[in-house]
Structure formats: structure tokens, C-alpha cells
Amino acid sequence: DTEVTQTPKHLVMGMTNKKSLKCEQHMGHRAMYWYKQKAKKPPELMFVYSYEKLSINESVPSRFSPECPNSSLLNLHLHALQPEDSALYLCASSQERGTEAFFGQGTRLTVV
């Protein structure tokens, strides 16, 4: 099983809303990632968790708050987003940080 599951697939939220994106994997991977992808651009790293600890935060605004409750789950809490935060948010996991990565199908987020 090489599946990474993300929910929801689509999300529309207002600028005052609070929402969460969820990601789950059952491959026993110890590294999990959040990426943001704007149209016609490559994915850009937001957060890396390694062994359930945040190891890299690529200077992401505090309105994005990651959480790793256990080794299989990764959440991204969203609050007070801006329209420019509209993008495809991708979750990935790998056995160790930087090794072969597997991606979920993404959450397409629209902020209105």
C-alpha cells in the first residue's frame, strides 16, 4: 500500500473561517510533509515532520499551523487566510526525511 489520503479534496473558506486539512498514511513512514502549489508552479515545501517533530518550517506565515498527532496523521490548521493562499495543498510521506516520497491527491483550497 503506497497510499497517502488527504481530506477534503476541495475546500472553500472565508477569510475569517478556521478549517483543517487532514493527511493520513499507513506505510510506517516517519517523515511527513506539507507542500503548497500555485497554478503552473512546482510544489513548494511548507513543513516537514520527522518522527512526529517539526524539523523544517520554511518561514510559513503563522496563519498556517501544522500538527502531527501521531506517526500516521498530519493536519494543517488554517485561520484568517488571505485570497492569495488559494492553492493546491499536497501532503507527502517518506520512510525517512528526503527519501522516496509518496503524495496524496491534494486539497484544492479557495479562500474567498
Partner 1 sequence: GIQVEQSPPDLILQEGANSTLRCNFSDSVNNLQWFHQNPWGQLINLFYIPSGTKQNGRLSATTVATERYSLLYISSSQTTDSGVYFCADGDNYGQNFVFGPGTRLSVLP
Q: Which residues bind partner 1 (CB under 8 A)?
A: 2, 33, 37, 41-45, 48, 55-56, 58, 88, 90, 92, 96-106, 108
Residue 87 is placed in which grid cell? 492553492
CB of 105 to partner 1, least distance (A): 4
Q: Find cell 493527511 and name the residue.
A: 23
Cα 41 to Cα 35: distance, rounded to the nearest angstrom? 12
Least distance from partner 1 to the Cβ atom of residue 91, Å:
11
Q: How far is the CB of 104 from partner 1 (least distance, A)?
A: 8
By C-beta, is 16 or 39 nearer to partner 1? Answer: 39
Q: Given the complex with partner 1, which of 50 and 80 has the nearer CB atom?
A: 50
Compare residues 81 and 107 and give the one whose CB is closer to partner 1: 107
What is the C-alpha to C-alpha distance for residues 81 and 69, in angstroms, rounded to an integer? Answer: 23
What angle (nearest 5°) sits at the alpha carbon of residue 90, between those of residues 87 and 96?
A: 150
Kindly tell me which of 14 and 98 has the beta carbon lying closer to partner 1: 98
Region at 69 (left for phi over 0; alpha for psi -120 to 50; beta for the rest): alpha
